[in-house]
Structure 1
Amino acid sequence: MHHIRTVTGPLDPSTVTGPVLAHEHLALDLRRDSDDEAVLDARHTDPVVRELADLRETFGLSLVVEQTCRGMGRDVAALARLSTASQVAVVAATGWYYEPFHPHGVGTTDVGRLTDTLVRDVHEGIDGTGIAPGVIAEAGSHGERPSEPERRTLTAAARAAVRTGLSVATHAHLGVGGPAQLDLLTAEGLPPHRVALGHQDLLDDPAVHRRLAAEGAYVSFDTVGKNGYQSDGTRLRLLLELIEAGHADRALLSCDISRHGYLTDEGGTGYGHLFRSFLPALREAGVDADTLDLITRRNPLRFLAGADPRERTDD
């Protein structure tokens, strides 16, 4: 498999022995008029580092895919500091979130210029840091069909992915719209195994999950622990249905920590909820150790490296 770009340099997937958090935020700012809590910044550096270091020591956490992109308060220099301090590798992202968070002017910029912007991030680094993204994410839309500006930003994500070899992870708002996202991305020539459809654990529709997986895309159960949106019991049932349908090789898992109140330091479930609560529940339901390793390590590594899971790899 190809090396994975992290904020501290290239990473050989074969050296990653522990689990991966496939969709997280370590530094972001989603504050708008109605939501002052949706921020992780310098005030939260120490608690974030403590959590990551503890998960590395306790559960072997090896890599975090940090999906904060343009318009979300991205700070890749902070990611490099967090990664170095915690000794956990971190992948940074580029792209555009869903339309309410599009920076001014994106809605009137043509796809070619949007694509060039993302390609420049990949080839030259983000915001003058020299730090390159390792994934195009979280490329967003809301509703069953993307809005016109979202069609353009998703098309740019797909074209940039084709040009750079990176994969695309999406934000399907509340789990809705994954099939339309996949159709749009693959229409630009992006293979489905280089697409991960986000927040599918918020959509209680196993048939959609099976369809996306059967078409070759990754299905992200990435809001584990966010019981205000969906119960973990429902998430567990949906994931078990996907596994039983033969698609364990298309599932990804994460917690999508996106507010400082989710940190364990503030009484939240934290980045480790997946390891402390959800994976034990999967084991209790009869999922074996090899399948858990597939979902938490081999799948996200293959996704990031752009490797087709149908091809045998030495992992």
Structure 2
Amino acid sequence: MNSLLRTVTGPLSVTAVRGPVLAHEHLALDLSRPTDRTASLTARHALAVADELAGLRRQFGLSLVVELTCRGMGRDPAALARISWASGVAVVAGTGWYHEAFHPAEVAGASVEELADRLVEEIEGGMGADGPSPGVIGEVGSHGDRPSEPEVRTLTAAARAAVATGLSLATHAQLGRGGLAQLEVLTAAGLEPRRISVGHQDLFDDATVHRELAAAGAYVAFDTVGKESYQSDATRLRLLLALLEAGHADRVLLSCDISRHSYLVGEGGHGYGHLFRSFLPRLRMAGADDELIDLLTRRNPLRFLTGGDGAAGQPVRRGATVPLPESGLADREAPT
């Protein structure tokens, strides 16, 4: 287990992360296209982003953001460093390739070996001439039930780079689909499931798949909390409670995946703090205690990033469950 996190402002000890972690966010990106002009968080939004994070640090103790904007997504490492300094919240940056629709030209015709070497070079040498080093690989993507041929190459290359550098890997599963297929590709390339977070599973209403991913040892990311136009938080909560009751509390990651400026609080959106202000209180009403909340929001993401069996000096046994009220979580009606 690596006890140091690679953040955009320098190494950070795991033990210094005392508050919650947002496990899948975007602070600076540009996915805008002619059909969608608002999928961006550019320089003009940086102050609003930093202000939101600073407010969450003061109110909820937010300590770390895992920023999964990778190659071809309008990544801006310098902006991430400025936002981190301004907000007082540590930021871990990502690398890799998103799903095929957003692959940059460098992917076309490149072999798995060439792609993996490119990622290793960036991880070891930094993003750009003077940029910080990525501290995670992701969000590496696919769409549909099976990855396309270019996505198989980028996923395989990302897994090989993760093995070579010791970084963990987070995926983008479009609308939550194809997570098991992603896991198959990544593990076939030699990456251990405990170093893998399968993304957007809260968009996929299939508790059986969630259990299979967790039982295999992968992290199951409920990372679009608050995106009600895609999935209701009531459904997210139901799926989460089912996974917790199945004994997989130690394999859950939570976040909001803020990926366009209209989601910012200043523009009327639910913001990065929706997890803390809305979703976690509902989880508490369903029976979660402080230990479970700490596991889901701090210890799990730290274990994911470091590859350890425990985080911040608190071991978690595989398959362990956190003590819950005698009535159990699933036996209680989830609030709407």
Matches within 5 A, 1:46-125: 46-125=47-126
Q: CA deviation at 1:25?
A: 0.2
Structure 2 residue 245 is matched with structure 1 residue 257: no
What is the rounded CA distance, in whole Å, between the counterparts of 1:44 and 1:312 in structure 2? 33
* 1:171 paired to 2:172: yes
Cα distance in structure 2, aligned partners of 1:127 and 1:181: 29
Offset at residue 257 of structure 1 (A): 0.3
How far apart, CA to CA, are the structure 2 residues paired with 1:105 and 1:279? 41
What one-letter code is carried by the residue in structure 2 that aligns with 1:246? G
What do you get for the CA RMSD once the two structures are aligned?
1.2
The answer to whether the 8 Å contact 1:77/1:129 transfers is no
CA apart distance, 1:191: 0.8
Letter paired with 1:243: L
State the alpha-carbon separation in 2 of the partners of residues 190 and 243 from structure 1: 25
**Residue identity (%):** 68
Q: 4+ runs of 1 displaced by more than 4 Å?
A: none
Please tell me whether the aligned partners of residues 144 and 177 of structure 2 are also in contact (alpha carbons under 8 angstroms). yes
Give 3-state SS (helix, strand or coil) of 1:23's partner.
strand
CA distance in 2, matches of 1:252, 1:67: 14
Residue of structure 1 in register with 2:273 after alignment: 272
Q: Distance in 2 between matches of 1:226 and 1:121?
A: 32
Alignment check: 8 A CA contact 1:199 1:221 kept: yes
Per the TM alignment, residue 129 of structure 1 is displaced from its structure 2 partner at its CA by 2.4
Q: How does 1:7-18 map to 2 (within 5 A)?
A: 7-18=8-19
Q: Where do 1:91-240 residues align within 5 Å?
A: 91-240=92-241
Q: CA deviation at 1:132?
A: 0.2
**In structure 2, the residue corresponding to 1:301 is in which secondary structure?**
helix
Structure 2: distance between partners of 1:102 and 1:110: 14
1:122 Cα shift? 0.5
Q: Which has the higher mean CA deviation after the structures are superposed, 299-308 or 165-174?
A: 299-308
Could you tell me whether the CA contact under 8 Å between 2:78 and 2:131 is conserved in 1?
Answer: no
Give per-residue Cα distances to partners, 1:165-222, cap 9 Å, x unaligned. Answer: 0000000000000000001111111110000000000000000000000000000000
Pairwise CA distance, 1:313: 4.4
| Structure 1 match to 2:325 | none
2:241 counterpart of 1:247? no
TM-score (normalizing by structure 2): 0.92
2:6 equivalent in structure 1: 5
Structure 1, unaligned runs of 5 or more: none
Q: Which residue does 1:299 correspond to in 2?
A: 300
8 Å CA contact retained: 2:187, 2:193:
yes
Q: Distance in 1 between matches of 2:269 and 2:161?
A: 36
Q: TM-score, normalised by structure 1?
A: 0.98
Residue 284 of structure 2 is matched in structure 1 by 283
Q: How far did 1:279 drift?
A: 0.2
Partners of 1:256 and 1:69 in 2: CA distance: 14
The 8 Å contact of residues 302 and 308 in structure 1, kept in 2 or not, is answered as yes
**Which amino acid in 1 is paired with 2:226?**
G
CA distance in 2, matches of 1:257, 1:312: 27
Q: How does 1:303-314 map to 2 (within 5 A)?
A: 303-309=304-310, 313-314=313-314
Whether the aligned pair in 1 keeps the contact of 2:125 and 2:133 (CA below 8 Å) is: yes
Aligned equivalents of 1:91, 1:54: Cα separation in 2: 19
Instruction: Kindly state the Cα deviation for residue 107 of structure 1 after the two structures are TM-superposed.
Output: 2.5
Query: C-alpha separation between the residues in 1 aligned to 2:224 and 2:106?
Result: 30
Letter matched to residue 159 of structure 1: R
* Secondary structure of the structure 2 residue equivalent to 1:108: coil
Helix, strand or coil: the match of 1:92? strand
In the alignment, is the contact (CA less than 8 A) between 1:168 and 1:195 conserved in 2? yes
